[in-house]
Structure 1
Amino acid sequence: MELSAVIRAGTIVIIALAVGWIFNLLQVPAGWLLGALLTGLFVGLTRSNVNYDGWPFKLALSLVGANIGLLMNKELFGIIGLYLGPLLITLLLTLISGFFLGWLLFHWSKILDKRTAFFCCIPGGASEIISVSSEYGADERIVAAFHTARITLFVLCIPFVAGIWNNTNGNELTEVASYSLSYELILTFIVVMTLATVLNRLFKVPAGALLYAIAMGFIFGEFVFQIERVPNYIGGIGQGLIGVMVGVRFDRETLVRLKRIGTVSISILSIYLGISFISGYVFWKLSDVTYIVGLLSVVPAGAAEMSATAFALELEPTLVASLQIIRVISIFVTLPLLIWLINKLR
């Protein structure tokens, strides 16, 4: 990458983080995430030559994951099994609705082939689904555009709705003391993020950078350094990085491809969003968590993005991250079966 491109990309990140910080000061729900996302959207739609795919995005994932992992405690493993049943039911609901929406997209669009339409609506990890879509004969450009639009829409709507719901139900965010960034904490982040990067290179799994960082963060925070607190702005920076890197993906090329499909794409995305709220409701009714925690845990909007939202709103981020990762891995493992079913449908 040329030096000018590096400087430009770095400048955009700094501006996005500044906007996220301002949003946070104004007490906008998930302000770091939304402020940076809107900045990224503006950049993506005005200039299509900026992206953070590859190691920059994985670095942001590992920062968010390390932060969440350091907050985890051993008690989480004792209760996570209680939520596997509700998660399985909502996962089946999400998969069935994804098939239904893929069928609708195929028949309504008139221009998409069957595999491309269904890959657009598979509710798994977006990057993983996009990367394998061409191997199964789908048009990965359309699949990438649709998943980019889905993630962008969800990350715009879900944090805002979650923040409003959280406040109107008497769960306003409490003011947390600001903790200093010690040398021990800096060393912990460096070690955790480095190990997560190495493991992700050696053993590829869906949401690997996030998963490994959470695991390493838990191990080092609980058993090695005994980290109890992390400054709030570290989590905010991680959320901001995720926001701007997701936002710039929705560029003019993505918009043009969605326009080719027509208003059908807007209809499918809107139905997708509505079904996600229903899935959150089902999880809420089948478990003892609040509706918003249930929504963040099952909505197909990206494990990192929803984990960052839960962290921003102080809504069980470790539980949300754990259930989201289980959801993404489960869908990816069942992908061959999903493809077989797609081929059987007419």
Structure 2
Amino acid sequence: MGLALLVGSLGGVAAVYWGIPLPWMLGPFLGCAVASVVGVSLAGLPKGREGGQVIVGLAIGMRMTAAAMATTAVLLPAMLAGTLFVVAMTMIAALLLKPLARVDHRTAFFATAAAGMADMATVAQQRGGDPDVVSLTHAIRVASVVAVVPVLVIGFGEPGDLVQAGSAIESLPLLALALGLAWLTALLMRPLPFPNPWLVGPIFLGAALSGSGLLTVAIPELLIILAQLLIGISLGVRFKRTLLLRLPRVVAAALAVSAYMIVSSAGAAWVMSAASGLPYVTSFLALAPAAVTEMVITAKVMNLDAEIVAAFHVMRIAVIASTILLTFALFERLEKRLRDRPI
């Protein structure tokens, strides 16, 4: 863990020096991923990713004033449409992954479903799929999105003009209280059927405090950097050399399918931007296939509507997680029809 923290910190410093976008997340992520792949034994900090998500979630929630929540509610039809697009896109991705990686249709479906990696690996094993392939494909998808989308958005997108509310209170005791309450909220939400409670719970808490006018506390930039560092390290240490060497064909196929998902999301973002009036970069981050926390951080860094990006991803995760078996049944029918069609 100490070595991972050292490698991640050096990666962040190097990324700042070289001018890499989102340096304190991409630097630690790439540094730890490379070190892990070449055989260095690294481990993420206990609850490190969760702690980073709590910080980010609270920061986003504190921006959700009553006006911002009203704006987000108006976009519910767009959120549902975006979720349907992601479901269709991932089904096509599964049909592509199956022959490319030479896996069965069960493994291909759960490996490309835009939901939690651990959950999909467990369900895949229960349904007769290969959990190792599912986990590796999800890790590569998330890594690809995190490595590519923020660079594209920050490098070519137009930054927004949103700023932290001027009424935010700068107080360390109140900040500690808010963070403690955010962590407690996440713990209380874990048994409930909510997606990603470590991010969503603090968002709800921050929105309740800020929207009601009860408390709007400023989140220091140093704390946001720490959150990015912890999240980047946790992503990088997922890559294990033994698994990558055992499944090289899956790695290549996963990279190809991830590229397809990113390009498809970029294209769909043009349609959503035109239909909803959202800025293109906000639409792109909202439709990016995975990595909700990382996309929200990117939106925050770009002064975009991070709360809208979070709402889109939460809607997508909630719908997909609650209907995954129904969607799988539909996919099986589709796959069977395509398989039985005469050539």
Per mean C-alpha deviation after superposition, the further-off stretch among 56-65 and 217-226 is: 217-226
| Residue 58 in structure 1 maps to residue 50 in structure 2 | yes
| Residue 185 in structure 1 maps to residue 201 in structure 2 | no
| Residue 30 in structure 1 maps to residue 32 in structure 2 | no
Q: CA separation in 1, counterparts of 2:236 and 2:54?
A: 18
Q: CA separation in 2, counterparts of 1:207 and 1:55?
A: 14
| Residue 83 in structure 1 maps to residue 72 in structure 2 | no
What one-letter code is carried by the residue in structure 1 that aligns with 2:319? S
Partner of 2:86: 94
Question: For residues 123-145 of structure 1, what are the alpha-carbon distances to aligned partners after superposition, in whole Å with 9 as ceiling and x for unaligned?
Answer: 22333323322122211110000
Find the partner of 1:292 among 281, 285, 289. Answer: 281
Q: CA separation in 1, counterparts of 2:332 and 2:3?
A: 46
Considering only aligned residues, what root-mean-square deviation do their CA atoms show, in Å? 2.9
Between the two proteins, the alignment pairs up a number of residues equal to 334
Q: CA separation in 2, counterparts of 1:104 and 1:203?
A: 34
Question: For residues 13-51 of structure 1, what are the alpha-carbon distances to aligned partners after superposition, in whole Å with 9 as ceiling and x for unaligned?
Answer: 254245435635765322221112112212321346434
| CA deviation after TM superposition for structure 1 residue 172, in Å | 9.0
Q: CA separation in 2, counterparts of 1:270 and 1:217?
A: 35
What one-letter code is carried by the residue in structure 2 that aligns with 1:135? Q
Q: CA separation in 2, counterparts of 1:33 and 1:278?
A: 26
Within 5 Å, give how 1:244-323 maps onto structure 2.
244-261=233-250, 263-323=252-312
SS of the counterpart of 2:62?
A: helix
SS of the counterpart of 2:75?
A: helix
CA contact (8 A) 2:52 2:230 kept: yes
Partner of 1:144: 135
CA contact (8 A) 1:154 1:301 kept: yes
Q: CA separation in 2, counterparts of 1:222 and 1:109?
A: 48
Question: For residues 159-181 of structure 1, what are the alpha-carbon distances to aligned partners after superposition, in whole Å with 9 as ceiling and x for unaligned?
Answer: 11110123xx476999999x965
| CA deviation after TM superposition for structure 1 residue 293, in Å | 0.7
Q: 1:310 to 1:14 in 2, by over 3 A?
A: farther
Find the partner of 1:328 among 292, 301, 317. Answer: 317
Q: CA separation in 1, counterparts of 2:221 and 2:328?
A: 43
Task: Report sequence identity in percent.
Answer: 22
What one-letter code is carried by the residue in structure 2 that aligns with 1:189? L
| CA deviation after TM superposition for structure 1 residue 103, in Å | 1.4
Q: CA separation in 2, counterparts of 1:44 and 1:63?
A: 26
Partner of 2:187: 197
Question: For residues 241-287 of structure 1, what are the alpha-carbon distances to aligned partners after superposition, in whole Å with 9 as ceiling and x for unaligned?
Answer: 11111121122134224414364333222212211211222221221
CA contact (8 A) 2:140 2:255 kept: no
Gaps of 5+ in 1: 1-8
Q: CA separation in 2, counterparts of 1:73 and 1:173?
A: 13
CA contact (8 A) 1:293 1:315 kept: yes
SS of the counterpart of 1:64?
A: helix
CA contact (8 A) 1:165 1:292 kept: no
Q: CA separation in 2, counterparts of 1:79 and 1:222?
A: 13
Q: 1:125 to 1:170 in 2, by over 3 A?
A: closer
Q: CA separation in 2, counterparts of 1:309 and 1:33?
A: 10
What one-letter code is carried by the residue in structure 1 that aligns with 2:266? F
Partner of 1:161: 152
| CA deviation after TM superposition for structure 1 residue 155, in Å | 0.1
| CA deviation after TM superposition for structure 1 residue 317, in Å | 1.3
What one-letter code is carried by the residue in structure 2 that aligns with 1:331? I
Partner of 1:120: 111
